[in-house]
Amino acid sequence: MWELVKAGGWLMTPIVLCSILALVIIIERSHTLQFNKIVPNRLREQLITRLRENGDIGRTQLMNVKEKSPLGDILATGLLYRQYGLESMTMHMQNRASVQVHQLEKNINMLGTIGAIAPLLGLLGTVLGIISSFLAITDGAMQDPTMLAAGVSQALITTAAGMIVAIPALVAYRYFQRRIIDINAQFETQAGLMIQELYDYKLLEHSYGLNTPVKNRVVDDRVEDERSINGLGLDKVATATS
């Protein structure tokens, strides 16, 4: 192996470095982008069940959920801000989803860059090898074929090495891109289902905070109704007087 690297010339050094970097990124992203770690099974159902049973989830418990998984971060953020209404809850979940997707895309572009430049490095090595072969011919290499073979071998080795590095890098790049798209779709699906379930089970606060007692809410509703009735009566009296 070392003899092949040595025969490929100095351009084999950046190609080998690209291969090492690509391998590290592939291993790291394969470990990070495990679907079960990012989107745990039945997490949304567990949160909704706890809300239905207890009426609320403590801030400490939600912070623990946020730290365990990216999906937990999104859903727990929504529950932390649900007391401020649907719009605030939705915007905060969207912000956290954008942050999580950005984290998942870490080093993915580097992998695509390696897949793009590795063949170019191999092509550059090919050109330099052919140039050295022609220079050897002008120096009388026709009488010594070994001088001609050195340039040809450099051209073939660098080309093959560049493609060997680029093909797995591009395959992994496309695979990870698709995986992130699927994960983002799951983020949107789970967040939408949680909002729908909060509506269905009447767990989503609209005009009152979570700490407002139900009795006070009824009293406030009655006051608003009386004001509306009185306002209608005054309007009618004013109309009749005029």
**Count of helix runs (H) and strand runs (E) in the chain:** 10, 0
Could you report the per-residue pLDDT of 19-41, keeping only the tens digit for each? 999 999 999 999 999 999 999 99
Residue-level pLDDT at 147 = 65
Which residues neighbour 226 within 8 Å (Cβ) at sequence distance 6 or greater? none
Residue-level pLDDT at 135 = 75
Could you report the per-residue pLDDT of 157-176, keeping only the tens digit for each? 999 999 999 999 999 999 99
Cα R_g (the chain), whole angstroms: 33
- Helix (H) / strand (E) element for 93: namely helix 86-104
CA dist 89 → 11, 30, 46, 127 (Å)? 54, 32, 19, 58
Residue-level pLDDT at 239 = 40
C-alpha–C-alpha distance, residues 59 and 68, integer Å: 15
Encoded tokens for 100? 């999580």
Residue 94: burial class (beta carbons within 10 Å; 0-12, 13-18, 19+):
middle
CB atoms within 10 A of CB 100: 19
Please answer whether residues 125 and 154 qualify as being in contact, where contact means their C-beta atoms are separated by less than 8 angstroms: yes
Q: What pTM did the predictor assign?
A: 0.77
Which residue stretches of the chain have pLDDT < 50? 141, 207-242
Residue-level pLDDT at 208 = 40
Encoded tokens for 196? 């729908």
HSE-up (13 A, CA, CB side) for residue 201: 17
